[in-house]
Structures are given as C-alpha cells and as structure tokens.
Chains A and B, each alone.
Chain A
Amino acid sequence: MAKSAVQEFTKGLWAEVPPFRLVLGLCPILAVTKTLENGVGMGVATTFVLVCSNMLISLLRDVIPKQVRIACYIVVIATFVTVVELLMQAFAYPLFLKLGIFIPLIVVNCIVLGRAEAFAAKNGVVASFADGLGMGVGFTLSLTALSIFREIFGSGTLTLPFISTVLPVFGPSFEPFAFLVEAPGAFLCLGLMLCIMNMLGKK
C-alpha cells in the first residue's frame, strides 16, 4: 500500500466513485437531487464530514480498542454531522430547511462509515485526508450530474448553487417532464446512470 496521496485522491473520482462503483449511500443521492442547489449542498456537507471524520479516525486509530471501534467511529461521525448541522443553520438556513432530515442522516450514510472502517482505520493521516476528499468530491460530482439532468428535464430550470439564482433553461413554452423530479424518476435515472457507468467502465 505505498500509494501516493494523489492516487488515493483520484481513485475516488473514477475507479471507486462512491454511489456507482461501491453501491453505497443511495438514499441521499435519490432524495436530494431534485435541484442542482440541493445536490451540491448535500455533496459539500458530506465531503466535509468525510474528510474530518477520516482524519480524526486515522489519528485515533491506535488508541481506539478493536472491540468498540464501530461505536467510536459513529460518535466521531455524529459529532461532525452536528457541526455541519449547526454551521448550515447559521450560514445557509434556506438550504438547511430544504435538505431537512437528510443532513442528520449523513450519520447513517454508509459511505462515511465504510471509508472509516475500510481506509482510515488502517492508513496515515495524509492518505486518509486524500481518500476522504477524493470520495467526497466523487460523491459530489455524481450528485451534481444526476441533479443537473433531473432539474433541467424535470422542471426546465437550473438553480445555481450558493447564490440561489434560478435560470430558465428552455424558456416558458417548455412543458416540464415532471415525472423526473418525483420518486419514480429518481430510481429510474439512477438505474440508467449506473448502466451508463457500467458501459463506460469495462474492465
């Protein structure tokens, strides 16, 4: 395992991009990709938690006893999720309201716990930081791709993240494909995206 930090970072972007290659963390990707703003916001929040918890767990990896490690990881992750919750309430309240219960639910996002167990518990701080950042960015990009598709065709608009400006994409005469912003469309889009990823990523 003598990989450089750069390699740990890039593997999260394509080779092991979380929601597609490792089929983990599907709930947020289905639920918050109605608009681009929600998708990116959720991605950034998850990345923050991933990076912080990966680093802290990697620092503590020799201190945490083996038998209770999962409980320790959950406490660390839950702490950072609470930090994100409070930060978002303070600085991005409208987004916090839109994402609703999905912010506290980052705690049970399998990606975060999965990386803690599979990577941070065995590797150094720098590698864990790179791994967390790579996975987080990969997750954010997947959310972005799916939410751009769903928002443009589902509501005919595009909400720019961070400044909350709604851009009309097709103009007023466009009849939105409303099916896509509802639950069935979410499942269908994700299934087809997975199919495209499989086609592109032939071994």
Chain B
Amino acid sequence: MGDYFLLAISCIFVNNILLMQYLGNCPFLGVSKKMETALGMAMAVVFVLVLAGAITWITNNLILKPFGFEYLRTLAFILVIAALVQFVEMFLKKSIPALYAGLGIFLPLITTNCAVMGVCLINIKEEYTFVQALVSSFTYAIGFGLALILFAGVRERILLARVPKPLQDTSIGLVGAGMMSLAFFAFKGMA
C-alpha cells in the first residue's frame, strides 16, 4: 500500500506530467484561458487516461508481447486510444447525456493529447504491473488536472494585467507556466 502511495505522490507532484515531463502542453495552453474549459478538460483527461492506461497495458502485455509484435506498439496504441475515445464519446452521448454535455467537445481533442499516449508509454517503459499502471494513469491525470486548473486561475488574473504587446497571450502564458513549473520543481527536493 505504501508503495502505491509513493507512486501516487511522485506522479502527481514530483513528476507532474505537464510541468515536469512536458507532455500535454497544447491543451495546457489552449484550454486554460477559462476556468470552465479547464475543468472540463481536466475531467475528460482523468476519465480517458484511466481507461486508456488499462487498455494499452492489456494490449501490450497480453497481445503484443506474447506474439512478439512489440515493434507495432506505436501504431497499436494510437489506434486503441483513438477507438477508445470514439467509443467513450458514443457511450456518454447515449447513456449519460449530462456528462457528455460537459465533456463533449474535449473528447475528440484527447486523441492527439500527448499526455495520454505519453503516460501509456511510460507505464510500459517502467514495466509497471497492472495495478501500478492503473494507479500511475489515474494520478498522472490528477496531476494534469491540478496543474491545468491552477494555471487557469493564474491566466484569468493575467487577463486583468497590462502585458506588453509582444508578450501577450501564449508568450506570457509560457512565462507563467515557467514560474509554476519552478514551484513544482521544489518537490524534487522531497524525492
């Protein structure tokens, strides 16, 4: 149990997927202008990443590995993730319309979110067991959501500030992300 707790802490804070591993930056800068969209994206990522983590682990260890098809991993993973996202979208639309209304527009974006694919690859690279892979997928997603929501708060404040013209928008966003990353960097000292 203690191991899982440590894994969780390291995935959420020490190796934060956005600010320390530099994955998923396009949605990070794209949807962080408003708190609502940031919340929607964070929830959609948590939802999809846990499913994707589980399914890609199964694909890799039960299908690709026994048959020696590991060189097809990239192709297999992206197809599995794309199919999963499509399936989740259809399922939500049909059976939980309220949730679909909240997450809907973010789901197609997730296929090309490198955080999802990245975490699935990290799970394989670190040779996690199934439960470890589940924990790491979930907590990486939580870390993603945490950073995204905090950053959306920062960006809403930046809107009120007078920023020099060339620095506006993405540029000041990146500088702000650098400052946040510096704060998360402090967690490295704990590890």
Contact = CB atoms under 8 A, between A and B. Distances in A.
Interface of A: 23-27, 30-31, 70-71, 74-75, 78-79, 81-82, 85-86, 100-101, 104-105, 107-110, 113, 182-188, 190-192, 194-196, 198-199
B99 interface: no
Contacts of A195: 166-167, 171
A31 B18 CA distance: 11
Contact of A108 (B71, B117, B168, B174): B117
B121 A101 contact: yes
Nearest to A30: B22
Contacts of A79: 75
Nearest to A113: B112
A183 B171 contact: no
Contact of A27 (B114, B168, B172, B181): B114
A82 B72 CA distance: 7
Contacts of A81: 74
B22 A31 contact: yes
A191 B114 contact: no
B30 to A, nearest CB: 8
B61 interface: no
Nearest to A199: B166
Contacts of B170: 23, 191, 194
Contacts of A109: 114
Given A104-B73, A185-B178, A26 B118 contact: no
B41 interface: no
24 contacts: A23-B26, A25-B26, A26-B29, A27-B22, A31-B23, A71-B79, A74-B78, A82-B71, A82-B75, A101-B118, A104-B77, A105-B114, A113-B112, A182-B185, A183-B20, A183-B22, A184-B179, A184-B182, A186-B22, A190-B174, A191-B173, A191-B175, A194-B174, A198-B165
Contacts of A75: 75, 79
B175 A192 contact: yes
Interface string B109-127: 0011110111001100100
Interface in B65-114: 71-75, 77-79, 82, 111-114
Given A104-B73, A107-B78, 7 more contacts: A27-B23, A27-B114, A74-B78, A104-B121, A108-B111, A187-B181, A198-B166
Nearest to B112: A108
Given A82-B72, A101-B122, A187-B177, A26 B25 contact: yes
A185 B185 CA distance: 11
A85 B26 CA distance: 23
Contacts of B177: 187, 191
B171 A86 contact: no
A108 B72 CA distance: 16
A104 B22 CA distance: 15
A192 B167 CA distance: 8
A98 B159 CA distance: 38
B24 interface: yes
Contacts of B122: 101
Contacts of B26: 23-27, 110
B152 interface: no
Contact of B82 (A71, A191, A199): A71
Given A82-B71, A108-B117, A191-B171, A183 B181 contact: yes
